[in-house]
Amino acid sequence: MILVTGGCGFIGSNFILDWLAAHDEPVVNVDLLTYAANPKTLASLAADARYAFERVDVCDGVALKAVFAKYQPRAVVHFAAESHVDRSIHGPMDFVKTNVMGTATLLEASRAHWKSLPDAEAKSFRFVHVSTDEVFGSLGATDPKFNELSQYQPNSPYSASKAGSDHLARAYFHTYGMPVMVTNCSNNYGPRQFPEKLIPLMIVNALAGKALPIYGDGQQIRDWLYVGDHCSAIRRVLEAGRPGELYLIGGDAEKPNIEVVHTICSLLATHAPGNDYLTQITTVTDRPGHDRRYAIDFSKLRRELGWRPIENFTTGLEKTVRWYLENSAWVADVQSGDYLRWIAQNYGARA
Ligand code: NAD
Ligand code: TYD
């Protein structure tokens, strides 16, 4: 069995669903169910004997120890984190706690479990730490893409806390020999993403007739990775990655934000003809310290593990838009009072 943390969030839930569609190996999902989680996302697995759920905080070492003792996983895939840059600007301490302390606590619990395993099982044990390209800072328009040798230069409390967690993961390999691998991916998009991030926020706001808020000049570039491609890369790293290594994962789809929003508007218009969603676009005050460009050179992953993304931005976005159109109940479910408070806090103060 494998242990996945943060499996009720966006990427973790896609990872579990894809995993169980491809394997019969069971999964235990360790998730605290914060605002970013929607347990209904995995409702289809409620009666699946291959799936177990534990509501546990990754900062709780005692509870984690019990989970390891109960399930005896052969691998850990660590997604659980506070993941939204804007929230980290409003409240950095939650990010330090979950991303740094939580990862440290999970690494400690994993190390105790790994040390208790017989030799052959200890040798094949794996810990995949899922991180972000944001730890490398911001690129200029003509800079080469990030690669595994790029310097860590995190700029936001979110990326700084993820950088801290990456360093801890690296240290557990170098100091203890624990078979840890780190993956740093670019911006994900796809089904089941909480509508506080750019793409789902724009889709749900457009459909609700609300403003589409572009920060600053909208020329910031992200390298968009379809979530299903990210999940296949993680499966590949888990299967054949080399312990101690870093692997960068990208979608080969660099786009300025304004272009992304225009594409969403025209895709939505094909599904609901007559609506000119473009008129809903508004420019709002920029994010403080806003990184200008992220881009990933994933040639190491292609060369060593034969991975490449299947979706391009057009096919991936079409699937994403369709999912949100067909899952309005899921969207309504996550738009709780807490969500509305966040929208008021983040956008209310922007000119
Ligand atoms: P998410 O915010 O959608 O989900 C996070 C999940 O972690 C939620 O289910 C939440 O309940 C859980 N969680 C939070 N704190 C916890 C705690 N203390 N204990 C246990 N569970 C806790 O995040 P996501 O977008 O799915 O991202 C998953 C991972 O991928 C994160 O580590 C993130 O840094 C990384 N990442 C995400 C992106 C992206 O575009 N979404 C890009 C690069 C890297
Ligand atoms: P986001 O999805 O928050 O991801 P990240 O900050 O981790 O890259 O934002 C993606 C880009 O979209 C980023 O440049 C900020 C911008 N953005 C907006 O212009 N408006 C918005 O309302 C949001 C949420 C993001």
The stretch 233-251 carries a mean pLDDT of: 98
Whether 158 is catalytic is yes
Nearest CA residue ID for atom 22, ligand 2: 213
Nearest CA residue ID for atom 4, ligand 2: 197
Q: How far is the CA of 187 from the centre of ligand 1 (A)?
A: 12
> Which SS3 state, helix, strand or coil, does residue 307 take?
coil
Mutate to test the pocket of ligand 2, among 133, 155, 187, 198 (most ligand atoms within 8 A of CB): 198
Mean of per-residue pLDDT scores for the chain? 97
Whether 31 is in the pocket of ligand 1, judged by its Cβ within 6 Å, is: yes
Q: How far is the CA of 279 from the centre of ligand 1 (A)?
A: 33
Which atom of ligand 2 lies closest to the CA of 220? 14
| 191 pLDDT above the threshold of 90 | yes
Please state whether beta strands 27-31 and 2-5 pair in parallel, antiparallel, or not at all (unpaired).
Answer: parallel
Active-site hit among 158, 189, 247, 277: 158
29 token code pair: 């999902």
pLDDT band at 351 (very low <50, low <70, confident <90, very high): confident
**Confidence (pLDDT) at 73:** 98
Q: Within the chain, where are the H helices?
A: 10-22, 61-71, 85-90, 92-95, 103-116, 119-124, 157-176, 198-207, 227-240, 257-271, 299-305, 313-326, 328-334, 337-348
Whether 85 is in the pocket of ligand 2, judged by its Cβ within 6 Å, is: yes
pLDDT (tens digit, 9 = 90+) per residue, 51-80?
999 999 999 999 999 999 999 999 999 999
Distance of alpha carbon 103 from alpha carbon 75, whole angstroms: 15
Whether 226 is catalytic is no
Contact at 8 Å (CB) between 214 and 258?
yes
**Confidence (pLDDT) at 35:** 95
pLDDT (tens digit, 9 = 90+) per residue, 296-338?
999 999 999 999 999 999 999 999 999 999 999 999 999 988 9
**Confidence (pLDDT) at 275:** 85
Distance of alpha carbon 294 from alpha carbon 113, whole angstroms: 36
pLDDT band at 349 (very low <50, low <70, confident <90, very high): confident
Which atom of ligand 2 lies closest to the CA of 261? 19
Give me the phi and psi of 163, to 5 degrees please: -60, -45
Domain boundaries, the chain: 2-189+224-252+293-310
> Which SS3 state, helix, strand or coil, does residue 139 take?
coil
- For the chain, give the percent of residues with pLDDT over 70: 100
**Confidence (pLDDT) at 269:** 94
Question: What letters, b where the CB count within 10 A reaches 16 and e where it falls short, cover 168-203?
Answer: bbbebbeeeebbbbbbbbbbbbbbbbbbbbbbbbbb
Residue 320: burial class (beta carbons within 10 Å; 0-12, 13-18, 19+): buried
pLDDT (tens digit, 9 = 90+) per residue, 86-102?
999 999 999 999 999 99
Which atom of ligand 1 lies closest to the CA of 33? 11
| 81 pLDDT above the threshold of 90 | yes
Active-site hit among 31, 57, 133, 166: 133
pLDDT (tens digit, 9 = 90+) per residue, 36-49?
998 889 999 999 99
Closest CA to 81 of 192, 175, 166, 180: 166
The stretch 181-200 carries a mean pLDDT of: 98
The stretch 100-112 carries a mean pLDDT of: 99
2-189+224-252+293-310 belongs to CATH 1.10.10.10: no
329 token code pair: 């109940």
**Confidence (pLDDT) at 350:** 87
Whether 56 is in the pocket of ligand 2, judged by its Cβ within 6 Å, is: no
**Confidence (pLDDT) at 40:** 86
What number of residues does the chain have? Answer: 351
**Confidence (pLDDT) at 273:** 78
Contact at 8 Å (CB) between 85 and 132?
no
Whether 80 is in the pocket of ligand 1, judged by its Cβ within 6 Å, is: yes
Q: Closest-lying ligand to the alpha carbon of 58?
A: 1
